[in-house]
A and B are shown apart, each in its own frame.
Chain A
Amino acid sequence: MKRYGQIAFRVAWLVTRDRGEAEDSAQEAFVKAYYALPRFRPDSPFRPWLLKIVANEARNRARSTRRRQGLALRTAVVSDGDAAPSPETAALAREDQETLIAALNRLSPSDREVIGYRFLLGLSEAETADVLDVRLGTAKSRLSRAMGRLRTVLEAPA
């Protein structure tokens, strides 16, 4: 749980965009995963199996609460006193990061979900497909379409 708690919470938060709902979703998912362990296929990777349970639980909760407006994604605040950003972070100017986050916030929840899993959480394409509970090809095309819509949003006037 120590190993997967953070990513489970973040998957749930990407779906619900509500801290309490995300925490409840992740907690419920761990309990369900515990009882579902005998059905887990031992030749399969554990992380996407767990995260799929988390995402399903979060989607169910988001549907039941009919939550439309959640907290928006934000870039982390870096004060002058903070340590220097990593080379990777420095590679993208802060203004560009904020532009991308603002564009993500204007996407539909399903587009934001697939982009969030793949790029913000760093899941592989196969893991993203598992968590979305779709085939790999479907996940790739969903990601491609979501990226296209992100590009459209980026090019549209704010």
Chain B
Amino acid sequence: MSARIRSMSNDDLGGALATIDVDWPPSPELAPQVMARVSSDRPSRVVRLPLSRPKRILLIAAATVLLIAGAAVAAKIIIDLGAVVVEVTPNRPGVLPNPSIAPTGTPITLGEARTLLGEDVALPARLGRPDRVWADEVFTDAGEVPRVTIAWRPRPGLPRISDTRYGAVLMVFEGDANQASKDLFQDTGVLEVETVDGVDYYWTRGTHLLQLLTGDGIVYVRVDGNVLLWRDGPHTMRLETALSKAEALRIATSSGTS
């Protein structure tokens, strides 16, 4: 052993170990196998949208009844809209993060958002031109997909969402690969479904936990706002506001060119 190592303190020895250039075996590509496993296991756990509409409505109705009644359920109730999954969980975690809007990515223009999502993406015309637009790239089991977040500042008729700077935040998810999960708690949450012109709109109210896949990994956000979810072609739309269900529905169904 060299005199240099012998004379080292434990801290210095630790520092020396940290500088060793270890010949690690090459790291394998884990994602394809893991995604294949998760995808093949998933149907046993999740109720997916391709259920007939009556069954879906029944499921939501059951979830709503359980939420209202505060009844104990042994298992979670899971509604899978593709990119976004809503879970009604019997137990609320002891600690929740502070309320905030979810991480949004890089600022872009509305035109760039339309290029990312496709020109035919239907944004709510009732809100007018947005104040901020961001995009994030998310790695899913279907590959990299864009996610666009659009925000409108508060104004008369569009109250501020608690603890945020905005009156409405619309997240547009692309594709069917799961990118977000909403944990709605049985003791405080509300989950309802409304069908307008053949489109099902899922309304949630009450504090919930949003688990969101971002370009930097999974983040956990506490959401206190009211949220409306719906599918529009290849996109899953998530509109967060402080408005009532009726107002949120009016915005969602006003899709057109902003």
Contact = CB atoms under 8 A, between A and B. Distances in A.
A83 interface: no
Given A30-B34, A38-B87, A74-B23, A93 B2 contact: yes
A84 interface: no
A34 B140 CA distance: 13
A13 B26 CA distance: 11
B180 to A, nearest CB: 12
Interface in A16-51: 19, 22-23, 26-27, 30-31, 34-35, 37-38, 40-43, 46
A81 interface: no
B253 to A, nearest CB: 32
A151 interface: yes
The DSSP consensus for interface residues of chain A is helix
A2 B14 contact: no
The DSSP consensus for interface residues of chain B is mixed
Interface in B28-54: 28-31, 33-34, 37-38, 41, 45
Given A37-B211, A100-B16, A42 B23 contact: no
B27 A5 contact: yes
B22 A27 contact: no
A3 interface: yes
A115 B33 CA distance: 30
Contacts of A8: 30
A80 interface: no
Given A41-B95, A73-B22, A100-B20, 9 more contacts: A1-B34, A13-B25, A19-B25, A26-B28, A34-B34, A77-B23, A78-B21, A85-B21, A89-B21
5 contacts: A5-B27, A38-B87, A43-B95, A144-B10, A155-B1
Interface of B: 1-2, 4-6, 10, 13-14, 16-25, 27-31, 33-34, 37-38, 41, 45, 76, 87, 89, 93, 95-97, 139, 181, 183, 209, 211, 216-218, 220, 222
Closest 9 CB pairs of A and B: A42-B220, A119-B17, A74-B23, A76-B23, A6-B27, A76-B21, A30-B34, A9-B27, A119-B18
Interface of A: 1-6, 8-10, 13, 19, 22-23, 26-27, 30-31, 34-35, 37-38, 40-43, 46, 71, 73-78, 85, 88-89, 91-93, 95-97, 99-101, 104, 115, 118-120, 122, 144, 147-148, 150-151, 154-155
